[in-house]
Amino acid sequence: MAVLTTENSEKVSRRYTFRRGIHPSEHKNLTESVPITRAVLKAGSVVVVPMLQHIGAMCKPTVEVKQEVTTGQIVGNSEAFVSAPVHSPVNGVVKEISPQPHPSGRKVISAVITVGEEQPTEQEWRKLPGSYDPDKYDHETIIKSIREAGVVGMGGAAFPTAMKLTWNPKRPVHSVLVNGCECEPYLTSDHRLMTESPATIVAGVQLAIKACGAKRGIIAIEDNKPDAIEKIHAAIEDIDNIQLAICQTKYPQGSERQLIKAVLGRVVPTGGLPREVRVVVINVATAAAITWACLEGRPVTERIVTVTGQGIKEPGNFLVSVGMLLSDLIEQCGGLTDTVEKVLLGGPMMGLATPHLNVPILKGTSGITALSRNETNLAEETACIRCSRCVDHCPLGLVPTQIAHAIKARSLDVALKYDLLACIECGSCAYVCPARIPLLQYLRAGKAMARIAKEQEKPRQTEAGSKSRE
């Protein structure tokens, strides 16, 4: 195994970090050394496969009620360009197709599948098949496999990966940046994946580089995961076009913009995509999903989920079928403790709080965090004392308190002038606020206001346009 030096080399760079940001306590020790185990779906229980698990167009169900489905069978698909099909994670029977609770809070048309008695043998995911040869694949077959397997960004944003990696000579990609930072406190799913199955990730990176025609791939890992750094370093030793970047541990290091700035020193223009600076960013879990999609045509029906927090009796990392209900998963972890206050889909900084446990795990759910009363914030909002901590810590250099004040006063114009739309919703401002002002909540409300205003403006503009033509 290669010994990691502290020097920068062609292979390993210790680029530093982005400006500002925060250092929340990590709490990763709850699960970071717990190996991944498979969450068991009992025969007779149900899985809920929502038709919307990604950014883009919703899928239409392709199965009927009472139809038998097999593992990996498509149950929903869409003709739209920005979309990803959804698959059945189990052998079973479709119980119903109806709107079901969804982590977003709305109800979304879902296929409810009763888990059958006979399930296929468990699929290998740690090791690559011996016959893997990256040169066998060209970009068209890779993109096709990714699309068919329904791969979406598994870091949480769930943008269809096939779209992201599209080969486009007009907008070439120089580097594929692979995000293994996992800056979100508590979560360790990417960390465990990197230590337990580095070869899969590296193969996925190779395929992603081929797919979009990039020159190189860079795997970025925060320096609080030395074991993952070591494993990935060993795995990329013989591969020419993949490098390792070690980043400082700081939140939100895993945010696309911050990561590109830290590793490549490039700044993505506000409102733009990483492609504008010739970069594509994918998550390590997405890279692993790409590998299985291309090598075996295996769709995304499983993902690694960290179940953690002091509200969980036995925290751990699990390989979970997409569509498994939260209640079933939490039950396998011993259930919730009595002091539990919030259950989050995702980590504590960006995760969505859910009021009930009958929502399914989605492709983009990287963790379940159950926070106890003393871990989370229950304090009431008090007056802003203008301490400027939100300004000093906003990784984008915004002035969150003034934007929030503008939104409170319903003056959207001022909020937009102060670059409300540049906000990446990382929550650093609300984390540091000593007055406990839910700044991010105000900013989100402002973004919603801006969206509504834009929608209302459109027809008015076209009306005015048609009038002037008359």
Partner 1 sequence: MGKEEKKPDKILMVSSSPHLVSSSTSRRIMFEVIIGCLPAVGAALYFFRGQAALILIACVASALITEWLFNVVRKKTRTIGDGSAIVTAVILGLSLPPTIPTWAAAIGTVAAISVGKMVFGGLGCNIFNPAMMGRAFLMACFGTMMTTWIPPVQEQAAILQVRCDAGQEIAAVTEATPLALAKQPIKDAANNNKIKKATPLLVNQKLKAMFLGGTSGSAGETSALFWLIGGIFLLYRRTITWHIPVAVLGSAILFATIPWLFDTFYIGPSGALEFGEAQIYANPLVHLFGGGLMMCAFFIATDPVTCPLTRWGRILFGIGVGSLIMLIRLKGGYPEGVMYAILLMNAMTPLLERWTRPKPMGGHSSRE
Q: What is d(CA 139, CA 445) in angstroms, rounded to the nearest whole number? A: 41
Which C-beta is closer to partner 1: that of 22 or that of 207? 22
Q: Is 348 in the site for partner 1 (CB under 8 A)?
A: yes
Phi and psi at residue 432, to the nearest 5°: -85, -10
Q: Is 115 in the site for partner 1 (CB under 8 A)?
A: no
CB of 136 to partner 1, least distance (A): 39
CB of 51 to partner 1, least distance (A): 24
Q: What is d(CA 346, CA 185) in angstroms, rounded to the nearest whole number? A: 10
Q: Choose one: 86-94, 140-148, 150-158, 332-340; the region binding partner 1 (CB under 8 A).
A: 332-340
Pick from 352, 412, 414, 449 the residue near partner 1 by CB under 8 A. 352
Which C-beta is closer to partner 1: that of 237 or that of 392? 392
Q: What is d(CA 338, CA 313) in angstroms, rounded to the nearest whole number? A: 10
Phi and psi at residue 281, to the nearest 5°: -110, 125
Which C-beta is closer to partner 1: that of 159 or that of 431? 431
From residue 162 to residue 191, the character string flagging contacts with partner 1 as x (rule: CB under 8 A) and all else as - is: -----------------------x------
Nearest to 156 by CA among 291, 303, 321: 303
CB of 466 to partner 1, least distance (A): 20
Which C-beta is closer to partner 1: that of 297 or that of 355? 355
Nearest to 18 by CA among 437, 456, 424: 424
Report whether 424 contacts 396 (CB < 8 A).
yes
Q: Is 365 in the site for partner 1 (CB under 8 A)?
A: no
Looking at this protein, which amino acid is placed at residue 37? T
CB of 211 to partner 1, least distance (A): 26
Which C-beta is closer to partner 1: that of 136 or that of 313? 313
Q: Which residue has the tokens 């937009």?
A: 416
Q: Which residue has the tokens 């699960």?
A: 31
Q: How far is CA 407 from CA 78, 412, 446, in A?
A: 37, 6, 6
Q: 198-212 vs 139-148: helix axis angle to the nearest 10?
A: 120
Number of residues that bind partner 1 (CB under 8 A): 79
From residue 371 to residue 410, the character string flagging contacts with partner 1 as x (rule: CB under 8 A) and all else as - is: x---xxxxx--xxxxxxxx-xx--xxxxx-xx--------
Q: What is d(CA 236, CA 178) in angstroms, rounded to the nearest whole number? A: 13
Residues 433-452, interacting with partner 1 (CB under 8 A): 433-436, 438, 440-441, 444
Report whether 250 contacts 25 (CB < 8 A).
no
Which C-beta is closer to partner 1: that of 39 or that of 86? 39
